[in-house]
Amino acid sequence: MNAAWPIVALGGLAFAFAAFSVVIAAFTGPKRFNRAKVAAYECGIEPTPQPIGGGRFPVKYYLVAMMFIIFDIELVFLYPWAVAFDQLGLFGFIAMMLFLINLIVPYLYEWRRGGLEWD
Amino acid sequence: MTPISVVDIDYVALAPVIIVLVAAVIGVLLEAFLPEAARRSGQLLLTGSAVALAFLTVLIVAASRPFGPIAGGSLMLDGPGLFLQGLILLTSGTAILIMADRRVDPGGDAFAGRVSTLPGGEEEREVSRRGLMQTEVWPLMLFCIGGLLLFVTSNDLLTLFIALEILSLPLYLLVGMARRRRLLSQEAALKYFLMGALASAILLFGSALAYAYAGTIEFAGIAERISERTTANTLVIAAVALILVGLLFKIGAVPFGQWVPDVYQGAPTPVTGFMAAAVKVAAVGALLRVLYVPFGGMRWEWEPVLWIVASLTMLIGSLVALAQSDIKRMLAYSSIANAGFILIGVAAADQVGLSSVLFYLLAYSVATLAAFGIVTMVRVPTGEATSLEQWAGIGRRSPLLATAFSLILLSFAGIPLTAGFIAKFGVFTAAITAGALPLVIVGIVASAIAAALYVRIIVRMYFTDPVSASAGVASPSPLTVAGVGLGVALTVILGVFPQPVLNLVEQTSIFVR
Amino acid sequence: MTTTLLLLVLLAPALGAAVLLLGGRRTNAWGPLAAIGVMGAATAGALALFGAMLTRPAAERPVGVLLYEWLAVGDLRVPFGLYLDQLSMSFVLLITIVGTLIHVYSLGYMAHDPDRRLFFGYLNLFVAAMLLLVLADNYLLLYVGWEGVGLASYLLIGFYRRRASAATAAKKAFLINRVGDFGLSVAIMVMFTMIGAVTFSAVDAGIVAMPGWVPLVLGLLLLLAAAGKSAQFPLQAWLFDAMEGPTPVSALIHAATMVTAGVYLIVRSAAIYDLSETARTAVIVVGGISILFGAIVGSARDDIKKALAGSTMSQIGYMVLAAGLGPIGYVFAIFHLLTHGFFKANLFLGAGSVMHGMNDEVNMRRYGGLAWVMRLTFITFLIGYLAIIGVPPFAGFYSKDSIIEAALAHSWTAGIVAWLGAGLTAMYMTRMVMMTFLTKRRWQPDAHPHESPPVMIIPMALLALGSAVLGYLLVMNDAFEHWLEPVTGFVHEDPPLAMPIVYGITFGVVGLGVLIGVLANLHPAAEAPTRVNPLVRAARADLYGDAINEGLFMRPGQVLTAATVITDRRIVDGAVMAVADLSTGAGDQLRRVENGFVRSYSLALVAGAVIVLAALLLLRIA
């Protein structure tokens, strides 16, 4: 079997799942529209049209989103480390701690400089 | 399960990078916990001592450590790498001196007091009234320098890419932080970011293709695979092309360097100097390693491409520079043209070429830094006097500054007894011995064109009467004087007594494979 | 001892320049005197070196001094070394002696200029660079001096900053010289590639074993360099504009020394030219055309300095022609160069003295009858005049006549051109003397001509003395031939005519020229006649030299620059802007431009990547 087949199959499955979700939601979901529901991403931020003349948009949502991504990525690295903890030994432990410290530093920065204060 | 072997790391050889990056992390913590009043001095102390210490460590490593792969083969310790690391730290240190100046601008240093305020808004006025300064600049600089140090020593494609990102992301921010003409600066940052992201993607795609071809990302392994082949493989050719484009983007070669004038113009001038000097040094260093080590066996494929790119870069850089009326844009095009001259040496593809490029980088980067340092000093009430018209008659108001700038321009023009002459002579002779005579002829024509450009500015400074809008010269702090003075002094010393440095680059110019 | 003296000669002017240019206003008071002092020291050193050289037998006269190794790249070793032989000794003496006299003269001429200190600083800088040029022992170091004199010349041409024309002239001189420098730099590259060395001795030794095209190419490239520096056809246009500089500068740089550097280069490269007949012929052609070109322009200009500039071009044409003749001519080229250095400097200083008395008027049609007002100036000028047109026993006679004989021995064409030049020289110089000193007064109402102060007259008198006797001194017992022969070689060849006939024709042509000059200029008009024949019109426009230069070098450059910028701004951005216009419609102007730019840049980046990829793939197929 060609090595490319699993990739094609995975792609097909992913596409099928996406199409299935959209179609089935259209048939089964309740339809109660309001302004927040029809907005793109449903997050309160309108990406288009952008405000004219150098207008600004709140960045708080993005701050939280970025925090989420950082800790998300942290988890991605923590899982394999936890699985192979025995073999990695002390070296792996120290390396992981250094990694965690590196993640905590920007968190401290954000917290101390008021990035987490909502108002 | 087989136990995973622990990578053996030579921490001493790695020390320059570690020192700079740890200092950067500490810098972030300083930002978090130091009171506002103490931040600037704390950051300056930290940044300055980290760079100085890293420079000393490079010297120690060069003297004491055996050459070879370090950090599990991700990095390579060898002559060119160490030379470039030293050069990057030297130029970064000089750039930091110029950046730290807060006397030439009555408002503070070259960076906006609070980057987050709206340009021209009430908040901005409040910030400048209180004399606030954005001290995050310094950790960002350190992160960027750390990336540069990794970039020139990386020994596999993935490390190369990561180093590129480490150095690029802080740069995007630094570009957008100018105190004056903030909209221009922010526009430049956005452009640089978009273009940089595109170029990074191209580089990464090329790396992926190279992996697909060789089954490894290590430079030595790729070189081995290429030497085994009998015919060229489309995959590896595409890989070379895309990696080449990604790196030529950072160097600013035509047609991949269209961002250079806009970004150099918009960025805070000391940052522009840093980009034109240290970042270009690192990009050329990485290009040299990539072309000579993994893809050295494909010299006959990439060499013609480099010939054409070098010719275009020299000619278009010099010609368009002639038409500029803004001094920073002019210097930007001049740095494009210089990139072309450097590529002549790269195209020579042998040890002589390598050593000539190393020398050129040294001569070019110190002169460029000094040039941008001088630009920060020539001012009108609203900021730097970037319009060439405003430079009329500077020679009479401030003979010392005009003399220094003339020396630098003469060096760019390749007039003998300046470092620029020895450098150009070096790359030209290297290219001739490698059989690239046509390229050298183009180079000589381009440098003749460029000479007209530099002379025009000297005329403007000495022979034109000042107009009412003419700029004055701010009295700089000792920091800027030291930075500019170092550049000018090296430009002259390397022109008159080049031999020690020529010997040094000759000894160091062998890549360990 | 020799090393110390050489360093003294070279470093004294350099030190003077450094002190004056970096010392600022503090040196205003004593700066000019210091400049003259260092020149005196350099002259004393040069005379001492000369004396020491004379005591040695001919074979031991050349001395080399290695100061340090300047560059060592790969196999190439370039010493920072000085080399003093009879050829460079002649130049060193000319530069220091004439240079000192002109420094003294400038003390009077520039007395009222507020920027006097700068002027003397630049002059010292020039002398230092010129000495380096002639003392270098390799082509690369010579190139340093070559660029240095170019820079000093550029600074001095533009010295009168208030005049826009001066800045333009300075720039023009620099640009045209770059064309010449291109020749020299490529020549050095070729030497390095083919011979592997750039020292004179190594090139002389190595060139013999080269294939035939090497001396030819080198000869032509060096000729290009020489034509640029020495204002020879077709790179002559800058010299006329260079007269914007102060008159002492015209005398020192654009008459006596710097413009003769091209001749020095050709004679120094004798070993190369000896091997290529074709290159020598090219040199003769350039020299011949320049003799006539300069003389014709000199005959038509009313500006006394530009007429003298035409004369300079013409006289250097003689030297270049002589150098092109090979071993029968090298000696005479340098001989004429030395005598010319004296009498042309003399003439220029005389012109300067006239201008000094006439409110800086340069138009000869506003002069007339000055012989009775400025007697000393007139006498010195007259001696220079007799020297340049070649009346025995003045200096120009010996040197020019030797060249005419050698040219005749080479070919009839060369000889006739030389004769024709001699006649034209007599004509335009007579015109100059008539219009300036003899004919009716045509002064402007506010002109009150007066004799110049002694500080100006004395240098003029000394130069006039040189113009009078130098030729005879050097020709006695064939002294100069014997002096220079060990360096350049010398072969005597008899012209195809008997000597009395040659002399007869020369005197006849010169006499005819003088006669025409007198008769045509008995009553010059105070305004230049506008209805003149096309030849005069062409000559007044420098025989359209500027038009040629513009067409050859400037226009293509400008068009290329403009085209590049337009392509960059209009076509690439324009296309993208159009797309952006269509897609966004109304919107903030700045933002739209910004979008357009980034898109166009990414387009270029991706297109470039595709081209690189395609090129690599194509190469693989090919």
Q: What is the mean pLDDT of chain C?
A: 81
Delimit the domains of chain A by residue range.
57-112
| Residue numbers in chain B where pLDDT is lower than 50 | none
pLDDT value at position B244?
Answer: 93
Q: Report the Cα C605 to chain-centroid distance in Å.
A: 48
Per-residue pLDDT tens over the stretch C505-549? 888 888 888 888 888 877 777 776 666 666 666 666 666 655 655
Contacts of A103 (CB under 8 A, 6+ apart): A70, A71, A74
pLDDT at residue C572, as a whole number:
45
In angstroms, the CA C269 to CA C271 distance is 5
For the stretch C494-512, pLDDT in tens is: 777 778 888 888 888 888 8
Shortest alpha-carbon distance between residue B22 and chain C (Å): 35
C66 neighbors C122 (Cβ within 8 angstroms): no
Q: Write the DSSP symbol of residue A43.
A: S
C-alpha pair distances (Å), B30 with each of A101, B26, B45, B143, C602:
15, 6, 11, 15, 38
**Token pair belonging to C236:** 């002559």
- The percentage of residues in chain A with a pLDDT greater than 70, rounded to a whole number, is 80
Terminal Cα distance for chain C, rounded? 66
Put simply, the answer to whether A54 touches B119 (Cβ < 8 Å) is yes
Site from B209, B240, B245, B258 to mutate, C interface, most C CB atoms within 10 angstroms: B258
Instruction: Identify the residue with better confidence: B275 or C31.
Output: B275
Residues of A in contact with C588 (CB under 8 A): 52-54
Gap between the Cα atoms of C547 and A90, Å rounded:
82
Instruction: Return the residue matching tokens 């090393």.
Output: C3
Q: Please, which residues 576-615 of chain C have a Cβ atom closer than 8 Å to chain A?
A: 587-588
Reduced to 3 states, what is the DSSP secondary structure of residue B435? coil
Q: Is the pTM of this model over 0.90?
A: no
pLDDT for C75: 67
Per CB-CB distance under 8 Å, the chain C contacts of B410 are 151
Q: Report yes or no: C224 and C179 within 8 Å, Cβ to Cβ.
A: yes
Judge whether residue C43 has pLDDT over 60: yes
* Residue C586, pLDDT score: 34
The shortest C-alpha distance from A86 to chain B (Å) reads 9
Q: Which of B32, B118, B119 lies at the smallest CB-CB distance from A109?
A: B32
User: Phi and psi for C212 in degrees, rounded to 5?
Assistant: -60, -30
Q: Give the percent of chain C with pLDDT over 70.
A: 87
User: CA nearest B241: which of C600, C619, C603?
Assistant: C619
Structure tokens at C331: 């000696």
Q: What is the DSSP string of C24-64?
A: GGGGTTTHHHHHHHHHHHHHHHHHHHHHHHHHS-GGG--EE
On whether any CB of chain C is under 8 Å from the CB of B305, the answer is yes
pLDDT score, position C593: 34
Q: What pLDDT, on the 0 to 100 scale, is given for residue B192?
A: 93
- The residue type found at B417 is L
Give the pLDDT of residue B159. Answer: 95
- Structure token pair of residue C480: 């100069």
Residue B70 pairs in a beta bridge with B75
Q: Which amino acid type is present at position C121?
A: G
Per-residue confidence (pLDDT) for residue A44, from 0 to 100: 63
SS3 of B365-377: the string is HHHHHHHHHHHHH
A53 part of contact set with chain C, CB < 8 Å? yes
ipTM: 0.80
Q: Please check whether residue B278 is in contact with residue B92, taking contact to mean a CB–CB distance below 8 angstroms.
A: yes
Question: How many angstroms away from the CA of B62 is the closest CA of chain C?
Answer: 23
> Which residues of chain C neighbour B262 with C-beta distances below 8 Å?
597
Contact with chain C for residue A30, Cβ under 8 A = no
Nearest CA in chain B to A92: B6
Whether residues A108 and B32 touch (CB distance < 8 A) is answered with yes
B445 and C147 within 8 Å at the Cβ level: the answer is no
- Judged by phi (left if over 0) then psi (alpha if -120 to 50, else beta), residue B223 lies in alpha
Q: What is the pLDDT of residues A26-79, one digit of tens each?
A: 888 877 777 767 776 666 666 666 655 555 666 777 777 878 888 888 888 888
Domain boundaries, chain B: 13-508
Q: Return the ∠ at Cα C504 (arms to C498 and C505), rounded to 5°.
A: 95
Mean pLDDT of C203-221: 86
C550 has a pLDDT exceeding 60: no
Is 70 exceeded by the pLDDT of residue C343? yes
B50 to B47, B70, B96, C52: CA distances (angstroms): 5, 22, 12, 61
| Dihedral angle, C-alpha B28, B32, B38, B42, nearest 10 ° | -20
The residues of A whose Cβ lies within 8 A of any Cβ of B are 54, 56, 84, 87-89, 91-92, 102, 105-106, 108-109, 111-113
Lowest-confidence region among C295-309, C458-472, C552-566: C552-566
C156-176 mean pLDDT: 77
DSSP per position, C546-593? HHHHIIIIIHHHHHHHHHHHHIIIIIIHHHHHHHHHHHH-S--HHHHH
Q: What number of other Cβ atoms are within 10 A of residue C312's Cβ?
A: 29
